Each structure stands twice: as C-alpha cells, then as structure tokens.
Chain A
C-alpha cells in the first residue's frame, strides 16, 4: 500500500509539474516580473544595492539549483556550510534573506528568467538615458568638494574666520590694557537678538508660504473624516500660532530692549498675583477649547457604530511588505491562525472555515469611492504601522493584537490627480513603525476608484482557497500518510 501511495503521489506531482510547465514556459519572464515586484522589490533591484545586493547577472554567477535552494531557505543553506552561501551572507553584513518557502521551483525559475531578461536589457536602458545622465553627472561634479574652486572657497572661508577671530582677540587684549572693553558685546548681542527676531519671523512666514503646499493638509482630504480632521488642525494652528508670535516677540524684544546699561537699574518686581492669575487663566481657556474640540473630533473618528455598513478588508503587514485580504461576498474574513502560516498560506488563513472560501488575497489596496471600509490589521512578525496620510488614517499593526480603522474614501485616484495637476500621483500605504532594514521601502499603492472599476479589478483577483485547493489537499494527504 505504501508503495502504491508513493507512486500515486509522485505521479500526481509529475502530472501537475508537466501541466504547469507547459502552460507557463511561454510566459515565464512575465510571471517572474509579477512575482519579482510582489516579493523582491522591497530588498532588491536589478542594478542597485538596496538592502540586498543588486541582482544583475545573478544567473551567470550561480547555477539555477543553487539559487532555488538559496531563495527557498537561505538560512538553512548557510548552516549547511555551503561555501558560496556563507560568502554571500558575509558579504551582506550577515543579514539573512527572507525565506520564500512558498515558492515552487518553477516560480523561482521564472524570477530568474525575469532577472536574466532585465540584466540583458540594462545596458540598453542606460544607453538610452545616457544623455540625461551626462547632465546629472556634470551637476554632481560641480557640487563635488574635490572641485578646486570649492576647496579654495572652503580654505578662504576658514582663513576669514581665523582672521576675524584674531582681530577679536587683539581687540579684547587692547581692552584689557586700556582697562575698559573695546568691544561692547552686550550691545552687539542685543542687536543680534532683535535681528534674529525679525529675520526669524520672516523665515517662518516664508516657510509657511512655500512649504505648506507640499503638505497633505494643503490638499483636499481624501476621506470623509479628513474634513473634520483638517478643521481641528486649523483651529490648533491658529491658536498656537498666535501664542507663538506673541511670546517669541516679547522674549526677543525684551532681550534687546532691556540689555544692560550702566545708567539704569533693574526694577525690583518679584511677584504680582493678578498677572499670575491672568496668565494661568488664558492658557486654561485656550486649552479647554482645544480639549473639547479635540475630543469631539477623536470620538467622531473612532466611532465604532459605523462598523455595520463597512466593508471588511484585512491589511496584513510583514517584513517588508503588505498583503490585503478582501472578505468577499459574505463580508466576513475567514478565521486565521499564525501556526497555519506557511507553504501556500502566508496569511495563515484557515481553509476549512466557511468564511474563508470567498476571501481574496491581493498585493494592492483598492477601495471603492464612497464605500465605508473597516481595515482590520494583523502582523506576522514585528509591529508595523499602516499609514495612509492622504486619508488621515493611521493604526499600528501589532502581532497578536487585532486593530482596526474605519473610514470612507471620498476622492478617487483620478480625481486627486486632477486636483493636484499631477498625472502620476498615487495614494500610498506606508509602514510607519520601525520594522527592520527595508522599513523605508515597505509601501504599497492605494487606488480609489469607481464601483465599476473596483469590481472589475476584484474579479481578476483569484480566490485564496479555490486557488490553493489542490495544494492544500496534497498537503493534508501528505500529513495523513505520515
């Protein structure tokens, strides 16, 4: 029986392999491109070192079997003492590469095919952009410190400082000899305080004028609650702005106005209860306004009663990427268990739960405009934070602790592109909690679209359980035979 079983299993695997390979040979590089952008780009690029080394010509340096072994479980491979593997590990500061045990050999091969195609393409691409490179090259050269002129400037600047320093010290020594200081430092510093106040305030105005438009607050909020968020922000900005100007002006003006003079005596004025009372009450009143308005805004945004109507989407964070799980027609996410994370099931979804049947796992976050959504967050390894600045949405993604955020996107990506007059603009989902080396690359596009486009896109996404049924069955069979 055992032998029969084994034959049955191997023949099954062969059959699937043949079927798969026939279907996929033609589109290996395409398939590889998809896999590459979904799994590898947070740490690798073809030509540049990011967290991991550049992958250009990797197919020439290592044979295919070696690469497959490495990709599937590099740490085991290193432990086994393979000289090449150890060398790669050490060359890259002993930072282990994430293991992709879920990949089939074929999938890895398709990625290699993609890398191969890209490696061969690379010189052409760089030749094409050579003209633009020349421009940037010459630019960097002029700003390079190795440039003679710049060195001369640095040296003459240093000399100037030394000369000024010497002059000051000579003047001070002269003052010592004469018995009265020849530089009136107090006068100079008094004027500098005044100058700092005037120039500083001018700089603040300039900054607000030029840099406010770069902020998300200057853009139309892309969510329903973004409107009350922005109004709360503006109230705080105005109130603190007034306090800022009044106190800084008084501070520096008094610093200038009351600088030391031999002819004047300071006023002995140790206390005044009325004044103390006034400037306890004023901040207290201002803060009452901020607290009351702030808490109203806070409870409106975090109101859980919106829950019923909202469409459920799970956002799953892991080093260093995001996966989304759409709840499907029943609007219920299937159960999950971190122990089930593995070979074909990165998110650890329970395939036997009836709610899992229609769940859809994707790499992009698509949202239907005007549809309230509840994002349910889950993490695999460390704390991440899902941050969607244009929607005024952020929530930590904590392993073992489910969190959520409910909001309604109101502006589609296309509308926002028009508003911002920027045809390449995209909303983004960023990781905003330090999570490791490629933290800074852990982001995904967010697309808000019309209902029509949204359903069109969703229908192209494969269902999680259906897609993997074959694999799941063979898995459970394998378990049973054990």
Chain B
C-alpha cells in the first residue's frame, strides 16, 4: 500500500498540469469532480427535503383541523383535495412519500452523499475519488431515482400509499389501496435506482479511504468524519442489496403472479390468481435487515460531522478518540442483529423476540459512550458558538432524548402497547429525523465556505437554529403523550374514537409549531442560495481547523491541491495543545524532530 501511495502522489502531481479543457457540461452537469458531485447531491437533497417538508405541512393541517376546509388544497392537489378536503388515500400517499423522501433522499443521499463526497478525498488527502466515473454515475442514478419518485405523484391512483415501509399485501394489491397501482411500481423502480446509486457511492468511499490516503495518514489519524463515512459505506454495501432483493420479489408478486409475500389471498383480490404459501412477514424481515442498519447509515455521518464540529469549535481534542472509533464499530456490528425489534408483535416466537431485545438494548452502551464523550469534549473548552456548533449541540440533545425513548421501544414487553403509536413517531423523528437533519445542517454551515468559497450569514443562521430547535421539540415532544394514550400513527383523523378528542388542542399546537419550523427553513433556503452568490468571501481556514481540507485553496481545483498533496504528521485534534502559541496545529505540520513520511519510506526501502 505504501508503494501505491508513493506512485499516486507523484502521478497525481503531474496529472494536475495536464488537464482536459472543461466545458460547461463536464464541469457542472456530468462532472467527475467529487466537490461538484457533492454540491449536486446537496442541492438535489435540499430540493427533495423542501418537497418532503411541504408534504408534512399539508398532513399536519389535516391532523389539526380534520373538519376544516382548505380551498388551496384543491389548488395544489387537484382532485385529491376536492372542496378543500384532503382525500384519505392521498393522506396516506403523503405520509408514505414524506417518509421515503426524508429517509432515503435527504438523510441518506443528501447527507452521506454530500459530505462523503466532499470530505473523503479532501480529508484523507486524495486528488479525487478512486473512481470519479462511478462517482458521477452514483449521482445520476440518484437524480434519475428522484425524478421517478417525484413523477409518481402525478400518476393515476396516486403515488405509493402503503407507508414508507411498504408492507405487503397492502403494497402488493392495487385492489387494497389505489396507491398500490402504478404509483407503487414507480416507487419500487425509484428505490432500485437509488440502491444502485448508494452501492456505487459506497464502493467508492470505501476504496478511497482504504487505498488513497496521503502519506502519513494512518487509520488512527483519520478525522472521525472519515471513520463515520467509511463505516456507513460498509453498512450500506452490506444491507442495501437485501432491500434490492426484497424489492425484486415484491415486483414479482405484483406483476408476475408469484406469492413470495402473499398467503391466503383469493383470486379476485390479486389480479385473478389465487396466492397461497408466501409470508408477508418475510418481507418485513428483509426490509428491516436493511431498515435497521439504515438508521445508522443516516445517523453515523451526522455523528461524524458533529465530532468534527464540536472538537473544532470547542478548541479541544475530541474526548476519547479511540473510544469514539470503537463505539462507531460496535454500533455498526450490532445494527445488523437488531432488526427484529421492529417486529416484536408480528407474532414472532417470543424467544426470538428476547434475543432482539438483548441486542437492541446493548446498542445503548456505545451510544451512551458517544454522548458522554461529546459532553466531556465541551467541558473546559472555549466554545465558539457558531451556527454549526449550535446545530451540533442540538444534535447531541436530540440524540439523548430520542435515544432514551428507544429503551422503551426496544424492550419487547413495553413495545406491546407502544408499537405503531405516536410514541414511535416521536421517537424516530427525534433520534433519526431531527438529530440527523441537525447533523446535516451543522455540516452545511461548517463546510459551506469549503463548498462555495463564501460564508453564510451568521445572524440568519442563529435565527434558523433557534426557531428550528424549539419548534422541533414542540412538535415531537408532546407526541410521546399521545402515543402513551394509545393514539395510532398513520391515522387520517383522530375522530373515530371519542377518547382521542382530548388531544385536539395538542394537535393544533403541534401543527402551529410545525408551521413555524417550516417557515424557519425558508430562512435557511434564502441564506443558502443568497450566500452562494453574495455571501462574504471566505478565507482559506475560517474556523482555524486542523483537517486537511482547509489546506486546499478556497478556489476549487480539479485535483484539490495546486502542488503536492500535503503529508500528515499528527492526528487531527491538536487543539489548544500545551506549548503551542496558536490553539490549533493542522495535520500537515510536523512535530519537532519528525521526518517527512516520504523520506522515511524511502529510507525503509533502501534497507
């Protein structure tokens, strides 16, 4: 490997001077530059996120005011909002597409796609990804997938409406729900394209981290962001193919008359062919075999970003660097043996349930270690409370709140009465939704200068943070109590059982908080797009950070560094090191008496 590094370094250098001429298309559209691809992922993700959020506003209005008519519903949704009343089928379609967009398109592709692409080559010291071409394909598969999903909003019968988990038989039988017609087919196509994108990206991330680190960048000198991205990519590579399999079998059931997931369905329900012998629960096992690691595919990059942002802005080394890596690895391994906790009440053998309880609750240990390490990093720090730092602190707060409610749901006995209630909605929107979005926001505010060479407006950033933070808690915290009262999720209205009428006020409150939170995102959108063109010019290292990306010039170069790739002499967290005048020492500064890794290696070769 050391030989490869040597070659790459020299090779990369000469490469830099012999560039092809860039046209508009090769620079902005079919770009193979990881920095441009990162921006493409980010902007696509932001557009999808805006769409997903707008959907949540519509169904929140419905939940708060089930008897009111909103004439603009008809304006934006046509016959699905006839006379200003949201159609119950379209309500289900909205929650389905909202979930799909947020989980896959924003928090997987938008988060991991953006920051893995931007940071992996820059932070490990590589000129680009291992395969820039596959990287480009990865984005365009994602783009195509987004287009297919969005187009499914307009087909006859509406988009997929069986919940983002698309459990068959509901998702397999168009007769059961209109969204399981063309809409569901398009959903499956979109997800298959998405999986292709995720796999192409993942292969690239892993290869780049393992093989293309610059000289001196040992695995134990990698920033925690890179560790998080690496482990995320491995998780994705191992679990997404299972979803692909699950999706293909569902396509067979839907279109070719098989019965993988269907049992005891009479012919007239299922396109004229009687379906016997399959198991609907099989799908759930396959789905959650991806679905649970997926939670960590979403969360780990956010936690990686937080580690970096908290250390930099605390002006302190991250506490327990090795323990942080250890807990990332532990979470990753455990995440593969806990999927059954989504299925405690499917009728699975109670003993099997017990095994999943054990695994699930053990995950809380490495998670707790991470939390305590974040808090210990803040202790006696000198905190630069930038918007990025506030979002990182917000993430830790959500990670605690949402993680602890996981201890209720992960315990099979307690899950009996909480499963599929609003308690679950509260839990995962806090720990996975809000926490990961906050990690993404933290990353955007922190690396915006690296991406666009300009700074985002600080005061708008603060307003954005506080409004989002407060409204997110106001939206999701009260939902725990609705769940404890037995209010099921995915209900179009809570009007059919009298006892739930006690929550009318709470639903109105939640909706108002959600609308404020939604409006706050407009501040962000304005700030983001305005700053791309008109923001203050960024300096090369605006946060006085140690990692390698800040040694690259502000203006983007194909190949990242104009001269040699910097060599690495130390770990990335030498902040406020005693004996140093400045409070940061970048990774490319040698320690006293340290020789250049290149010479070191050459001398080793001579021996």
Contacts and interface: CB of A to CB of B under 8 A. Distances in A.
Contacts of B459: 165, 168-169, 172, 183, 185
A261 B384 CA distance: 9
A247 B400 contact: yes
Nearest to B95: A434
A200 B393 CA distance: 15
A232 B413 contact: yes
A437 B88 contact: yes
Contacts of A297: 413-414
A145 B279 CA distance: 51
Contacts, number: 355
A302 B347 CA distance: 10
A142 to B, nearest CB: 14
Given A189-B390, A216-B484, A279 B368 contact: yes
Interface in B57-100: 68, 79-80, 82, 85, 87-90, 92
B382 A283 contact: no
Contacts of A266: 314-316, 380-382, 575-576, 583
Contacts of A341: 266
A163 interface: no
Interface string A287-331: 100110011011101100000000000000001000000000000
B575 A268 contact: yes
B383 A258 contact: yes
Given A399-B264, A430-B497, A440-B493, A94 B178 contact: yes
A435 to B, nearest CB: 6
A270 interface: yes
Interface stretch (A60-68, A204-212, A460-468): A204-212
B400 A251 contact: yes
Contacts of A302: 350, 353
Contact of A236 (B85, B379, B408, B419): B408
A383 B280 contact: yes
A478 interface: no
Contacts of B158: 93
B463 to A, nearest CB: 8
A301 B163 CA distance: 29
Question: Which among B265, B486, B495 has the highest number of chain A CB atoms within 10 Å?
Answer: B486
Interface stretch (A23-31, A127-135, A362-370, A390-398): A390-398
Contact of A401 (B347, B362, B382, B397): B347
B307 interface: no
A185 B400 contact: no
B380 A258 contact: yes
Given A254-B379, A440-B494, A294 B357 contact: yes
Interface string A208-240: 000110111100000000000100110011011
Interface size class, chain A: 35 or more
A216 B485 contact: yes
B345 A395 contact: yes
Contact of A269 (B279, B380, B499): B380
A124 interface: no
Contacts of B396: 251
B462 A189 contact: yes
B382 A264 contact: yes
A392 B417 CA distance: 5
Given A93-B89, A383-B169, A383-B170, A229 B420 contact: no
Interface size class, chain B: 35 or more
Contacts of A12: none
A78 to B, nearest CB: 13
B248 interface: no
A460 B481 CA distance: 40
B265 A399 contact: yes
A291 B503 CA distance: 33
Given A240-B404, A267-B381, A401-B347, A392 B416 contact: yes
A335 to B, nearest CB: 13
B354 interface: yes
B350 A298 contact: yes
B554 interface: no
A435 B494 CA distance: 16
A287 B365 contact: yes
B307 to A, nearest CB: 13
A122 interface: no
Nearest to A161: B463
A447 to B, nearest CB: 15
Query: Closest 9 CB pairs between A and B?
Result: A400-B263, A389-B486, A403-B347, A215-B484, A302-B350, A297-B413, A440-B491, A283-B368, A267-B380
Given A185-B462, A275-B372, A437-B92, 4 more contacts: A258-B382, A270-B573, A392-B417, A435-B176
Interface of A: 49-51, 93-96, 140, 165, 168-169, 172, 183, 185-186, 188-190, 192-193, 196, 200, 203-204, 207, 211-212, 214-217, 229, 232-233, 236-237, 239-240, 243-244, 247-248, 250-252, 254-255, 258-261, 264-272, 275-276, 279-280, 282-284, 287, 290-291, 294-295, 297-299, 301-302, 319, 338-339, 341, 377, 381-383, 385, 387, 389-390, 392-396, 398-404, 424-426, 428, 430-441, 443
14 contacts: A93-B87, A248-B400, A266-B576, A272-B320, A295-B412, A381-B265, A387-B420, A392-B417, A394-B417, A399-B264, A401-B281, A425-B499, A434-B163, A437-B89
Interface of B: 68, 79-80, 82, 85, 87-90, 92, 156-158, 162-163, 167, 169-170, 173, 175-178, 262-266, 269, 274, 276, 278-281, 314-323, 345-347, 350, 353-354, 357-358, 361-362, 364-365, 368-369, 371-376, 378-385, 390, 393, 396-397, 400-401, 404-405, 407-408, 411-414, 416-417, 419-421, 458-459, 462, 466, 469-470, 473, 477-478, 481, 484-486, 488, 490-499, 502-503, 506, 573, 575-578, 583
